[in-house]
Structure 1
Amino acid sequence: MSAFLQTFDLSATDSADAPTIAIKDSIDVAGYATTAASRALADAPLASEHAEVVRRLLDAGWRVTGKTNMHELAFGMTGINDFSGTPVNPQDEARIPGGSSSGSASAVGQKFVDAALGTDTGGSVRGPAACCGVIGLKPTFGRVSRHGVAPRVTTLDCVGPFTRETDTLIRVMTAIDPSFRADDARRDVSQLRIGMVAVDADDDIAKAIADAVGKSELAVQAIELASLKDAFTAGLAVINAETSRAFGHLVASGKLGADIEARLRAAAATSAADLDAAERVRRTFTDEVDRALDRVDVLVLPTLPSLPITLEAARAGTSVIGMSSLIRPFNLSGHPALSLPVPIERSTLKAGLQIIGRKNDDETVCAVAAHLEARLGQSA
């Protein structure tokens, strides 16, 4: 069961009806090593305490059932891991499950658990969610505690949940974020305005998003984000620099997967000038998104521009970096972003519809997702 690295049962209650949740192996669970699914960290010491999000879940009555697999060191988009195994994509076993939170998305999609936690630094919750046909939320940057989460220092990474329905997502958020307003996340949003962001995406994906938005019966306005592509490039520079600082020393161990070693070596070349330029783009793009959200309540665009490629194609070297072109920019800006599965015409696969909200208005993002879910009749 490669969705999991370890299975166990931690609970603060004896109730057999307690909801179940799994935890990505970059998040500390007391008594278990946090290895980030890497041979280089296989001998890491056992965590001495729970990450704050884990403690909050247990206090709220959730059962933690295991640590989930992931793309090694959370530094990849495919989910392929030759050390710990590659999680199954529940939509299509021939396709990649997405990274880096592949095991969490897979475990939820296969109904092993009610929910799972992942982390999202460059799309690593929303990408796997879209690949595996489940819901994934990246909260506003800084809103959910990262105490006990690797890497320790970041300007991009967020802990976020995977679920099969929005009501469960709201329950997870209520547990891990004491400021989360569940009533607002369940409110009527029929008078809200959607901004449809113009992007490059495959025709079947674009049509799936347009059809879903049409069924919402919400007011729609076209939106242009001129610096979206620049924000993608800037996000790459920042994640490379920050991941190199966190894990670059592991290259010397000789225990990393070939793809991760190559990426870390390349990431080490990120210059101060690259980061200065990226920070200028961060400010520009953040301001542009904020201005767009002055005109509408949420933005909508595809999560991924195309369907996930096959495992065979990924192993043969097909580039997947473009998978994050529509999700990585919102790590840079810090806005809350959710991926909701929506039907694709004449396909058994689902596309990811991405909903972006104002900072610290994660509740409206969830409420719009719930509205769309109800309109599409997708509640599992």
Structure 2
Amino acid sequence: MSAFISEFDLHTRAAADAPTIAIKDSIDIAGYATTAACRALVDQPVAATHAQVVQGLLDAGWRINGKTNMHELAFGMTGINGFTGTPKNPQDAARIPGGSSSGSASVVGLRLADAALGTDTGGSVRGPAACCGVAGFKPTFGRVSRDGITPKETTLDCVGPFAREMRVLIDVMTAIDPTFDTRTARANASKSTVGIVEVQADAGIPNAIESAVYRADFVSRKVELDAMTDAFAAGLAVINAETWRAFGHLVDTGKLGADLVARLRAASNTTSTDLEAAERVKRTFTAAVERALEDLDVLVLPTLPAFPITLEAARAGTSVIAMSSLIRPFNLSGHPALSIPVPVAGSALKAGLQIVGRKGADEKVCSVAAHLEAALAA
């Protein structure tokens, strides 16, 4: 099944009925090669030790049931992979599953695992979560260990969980982050104050966000965030530079997909001037988010500005870069951000509702998400 790179049963203290979790193929599992779903890395030596997050899950009694497929080298938003196959979108098999943590979102949505781990550099957990109709969380930058993660050097990437229910996602966070306060994450969030960020999105999706906030009975108000567009572009510049630095040497191997080669070559043109400008935007946008959160507990906005396009359209060359316009900025700023599925009037597909919190307030983001989840289920 293309959602998995490989399936197995890895456990230490796990009981027979222990919850299962799948691990993105950019995260080390001892005894298995970390290939990032790329032909150029299939001959990598097997990992000698588990990534710290994997060891935390095993110590907490989770059963790991496989490594998940992904967009090649974690450098793409569609999840389409000509080498390892393309994971199925559980909401609509004709649509892209999203990337780069495509397999992780897919296995959770298809109920092949209770949860999964992915990585999020420019929306690569939240985007697939929204495409596939599950919950996905990008913690505060630097809060969850990246020991044993490919690529090793990054200023944006975060390990984060997928789950169908917030209670399970919170269980995963408890296992992978020793500082995570489970009691706070499960606390009653009904009195939280919410800022609804005004953004451009397809008809129906912003209304779905406002309707969810109304159903949750939160105190809310509209909010404008300055420099969102600039932050999107700046985040892209940083990702391009860092991905070229990590994987540019693979371009001439003849073992990369043609689309990836083209993106990497374009990424190589990122200049030091581009990165200096990105750093200025980062400061401006981070300050704007923090100002907005001074008297609000969280901000909410769509995860994606539109429903995922079809596989056919993606393969025909339809650009998907705008998919990350509302998620990538929060990689640049480093704030915790979580996507939960939300119904949209007149559509069989669910969209993603994104919740952004103060740096370090990951537990508050989770508690707000759990309250919204309960309100939507009522």
TM-score, scaled to structure 2: 0.99
| SS of match in other structure, 2:371 | helix
- State the match for 2:348 in structure 1: 348
Alignment of 1:1-380 (within 5 A): 1-13=1-13, 15-377=15-377
Shift of 1:13: 2.3
Q: What is the aligned-residue identity percentage?
A: 71
Shift of 1:65: 0.6
Partner letter of residue 210 of structure 1? E
Quote the Cα distance in structure 2 between the aligned partners of 1:347 and 1:288.
33
Quote the Cα distance in structure 2 between the aligned partners of 1:310 and 1:207.
23
Quote the Cα distance in structure 2 between the aligned partners of 1:335 and 1:47.
31
Q: What are the superposed Cα offsets for residues 9-29 of structure 1, whole Å, 9 maximum, x if unpaired?
A: 110125111100000000000
Shift of 1:221: 1.3
Partner letter of residue 282 of structure 2? R
Quote the Cα distance in structure 1 between the aligned partners of 2:64 and 2:189.
33
Shift of 1:346: 2.1
Q: What are the superposed Cα offsets for residues 307-329 of structure 1, whole Å, 9 maximum, x if unpaired?
A: 00000000000000000000000
Quote the Cα distance in structure 1 between the aligned partners of 2:2 and 2:368.
33
Partner letter of residue 172 of structure 1? V
Shift of 1:264: 0.5
Q: Is the 8 A contact 2:14 2:58 kept in 1?
A: no
Quote the Cα distance in structure 2 between the aligned partners of 1:90 and 1:189.
30
Quote the Cα distance in structure 1 between the aligned partners of 2:337 and 2:228.
15
Quote the Cα distance in structure 1 between the aligned partners of 2:257 and 2:14.
41
Quote the Cα distance in structure 1 between the aligned partners of 2:12 and 2:195.
43
Shift of 1:91: 0.1
Q: What are the superposed Cα offsets for residues 34-82 of structure 1, whole Å, 9 maximum, x if unpaired?
A: 0000001011110000000000000000001110000000000000000
| SS of match in other structure, 2:204 | helix
Q: What are the superposed Cα offsets for residues 229-283 of structure 1, whole Å, 9 maximum, x if unpaired?
A: 1000000000000000000000011110011110000000100000000000001
Partner letter of residue 332 of structure 1? L
Superposed CA RMSD in Å reads 0.7
Quote the Cα distance in structure 1 between the aligned partners of 2:150 and 2:324.
21
Structure 1: runs of 5+ lacking an equivalent = none
Quote the Cα distance in structure 2 between the aligned partners of 1:78 and 1:246.
21
Q: Is the 8 A contact 2:14 2:63 kept in 1?
A: no
